[in-house]
């Protein structure tokens, strides 16, 4: 499975938004600076995330972005699938083109199982889980 920079940046941005928001809109520039993500790239990601009801945009003075749902309801898998534009694929299926051997391939079941487990793992973690883990790690470092 290959998760591109787009997927990684989207997850980082959602955790950063959850940390900075506290119910108030956060300017995209703040997230871009905090996470060292180019702002134009982040704008493209947030457009995708907004279309999938993961974030909401707030216009005007004091505007920015907020999470569209509770961070416990937004999974890492949902963010990555939205950012990447497709489900992550493993091995020979990554290109989306069948090789012609799928019917007789003895390893295909293993790849299918691996894909399913990766999806389950990513869907088992929420933005809240990562936000809380990040806060706990910060507290340990400060102690």
Domain spans of the chain, in order of start: 5-142
Q: What are the tens digits of pLDDT across the range 83-97?
A: 998 665 655 655 555
pTM over 0.85: no
- For the chain, give the mean pLDDT: 85
| Residues 6+ positions from 40 with CB-CB distance below 8 Å | none
One of 1.10.10.10, 1.10.1030.10, 3.30.1490.440, 3.30.930.10 is the CATH number of 5-142, namely: 1.10.10.10
Find out whether 126 and 74 touch, Cβ atoms under 8 Å.
yes
Render pLDDT for 99-123 as a digit per residue (tens, 0 to 9).
666 667 788 788 788 888 989 999 9
Query: What value does the mean pLDDT take over residues 43-68?
Result: 94
Yes or no: say if 18 and 131 are a contact pair by the CB < 8 Å rule.
yes
Pairwise pLDDT comparison (48 vs 102), residue with the higher score: 48
């Amino acid at each position: 499975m290959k998760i591109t920079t787009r997927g990684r940046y989207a997850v980082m941005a959602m955790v950063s938004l959850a940390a900075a928001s506290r119910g108030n809109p956060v300017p995209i520039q703040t997230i871009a600076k905090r996470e060292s993500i180019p702002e134009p790239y982040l704008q493209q990601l947030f457009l995708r995330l907004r279309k999938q009801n993961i974030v909401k945009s707030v216009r005007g003075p004091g505007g920015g972005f907020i999470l569209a749902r509770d961070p416990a309801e937004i999974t890492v898998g949902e963010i990555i699938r939205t950012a990447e534009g497709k489900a992550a694929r493993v091995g020979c299926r990554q290109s989306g083109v069948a090789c012609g051997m799928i019917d007789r391939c003895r390893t295909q079941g293993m790849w299918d199982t691996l894909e399913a487990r990766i999806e389950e793992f990513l869907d088992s973690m929420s933005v809240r889980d990562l936000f809380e883990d990040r806060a706990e790690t910060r507290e340990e470092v400060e102690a």
